[in-house]
Structure 1
Amino acid sequence: MDTSLSTFPNLCKQWRQRRHLSQLHLAETAAISQRHLSWLETGRSQPSREMVLRLADAMEVPLRERNTLLNAAGFAPQYLESRLEEPHMAPVGEALTAILEHHMPFPAVVVNRKWDRMMANAAADLMFSLVDTNSGQTETKETFNLAEATLAPHGLRRYITNWETALPMFVNRLRSEALASGETSTIAHVEALIRSAGELPDNPPAPEPLLPVMPLELDIDGLQLSLFTVMSTFGTPQDITTDELRIEAFYPANDATRSFFAGTKE
Structure 2
Amino acid sequence: MPFRDRNELLVAAGFAPIYKEDAWNAEEMGSVTRALDRILRHHEPFPAIVMDRHWNVFMRNASALRFFGAFIDLAAHPEPRNLLHLMFDPAAMRPFIVNWEETSRALIQRIHREAVGHTLDERTRELLTSLLAHDGVDPALRAIGSSGTEPTLPMVPLSFQKDGQVLRYFSMITTVGTPQTITTQELRIESMFPADEATEVAHRRWMDHLDKEAP
Normalised by the length of structure 2, the TM-score is 0.80
Distance across 2 between alignment mates of 1:214 and 1:144: 20
Q: CA 1:212–1:67 in structure 2 vs 1: closer, same or farther (change >3 Å)?
A: closer
**Match 1:226 to one of 168, 178, 198:** 168
Instruction: Give matches, 1:10-49, under 5 Å.
Output: none
Residues 1:71 and 2:11 are matched in the alignment: yes
Return 5+ residue gaps in structure 2 as ranges: 145-149, 209-215
Q: Which residue of 1 aligns with 2:78?
A: 141
> Match of 1:130, SS?
helix
Residues 1:185 and 2:125 are matched in the alignment: no
How many positions carry a matched residue from both structures? 197
Contact kept in structure 1, 2:132 and 2:139, CA below 8 Å: no
Q: Which residue of 2 aligns with 1:56?
A: none
| Greater Rg by CA | 1
Question: How big is the alpha-carbon RMSD for the aligned residues of Structure 1 and Structure 2?
Answer: 2.7
Q: CA 1:236–1:162 in structure 2 vs 1: closer, same or farther (change >3 Å)?
A: same
Give the letter aligned to residue 172 of structure 2.
V
Could you give the per-residue CA deviations for residues 177-213 of structure 1, whole angstroms, max 9, x where no partner exists? 235485632232232233223325668x98xxxx954
Contact kept in structure 1, 2:50 and 2:190, CA below 8 Å: yes
Compare relative contact order (CA 8 Å, sep 6+) and give the higher one, 1 or 2: 2
Residues 1:243 and 2:185 are matched in the alignment: yes
Q: CA 1:71–1:93 in structure 2 vs 1: closer, same or farther (change >3 Å)?
A: same
Could you give the per-residue CA deviations for residues 38-92 of structure 1, whole angstroms, max 9, x where no partner exists? xxxxxxxxxxxxxxxxxxxxxxx21111111111111111111112322221110
Contact kept in structure 2, 1:175 and 1:190, CA below 8 Å: no
Deviation at 1:115, TM superposition (A): 0.6
Deviation at 1:165, TM superposition (A): 1.5
> Match of 1:263, SS?
helix
**Match 2:104 to one of 167, 177, 186:** 167
Q: CA 1:71–1:174 in structure 2 vs 1: closer, same or farther (change >3 Å)?
A: same
> Match of 2:37, SS?
helix
Residues 1:86 and 2:49 are matched in the alignment: no
Give the letter aligned to residue 7 of structure 2.
N
Distance across 2 between alignment mates of 1:213 and 1:176: 13
Instruction: Give matches, 1:53-64, under 5 Å.
Output: 61-64=1-4
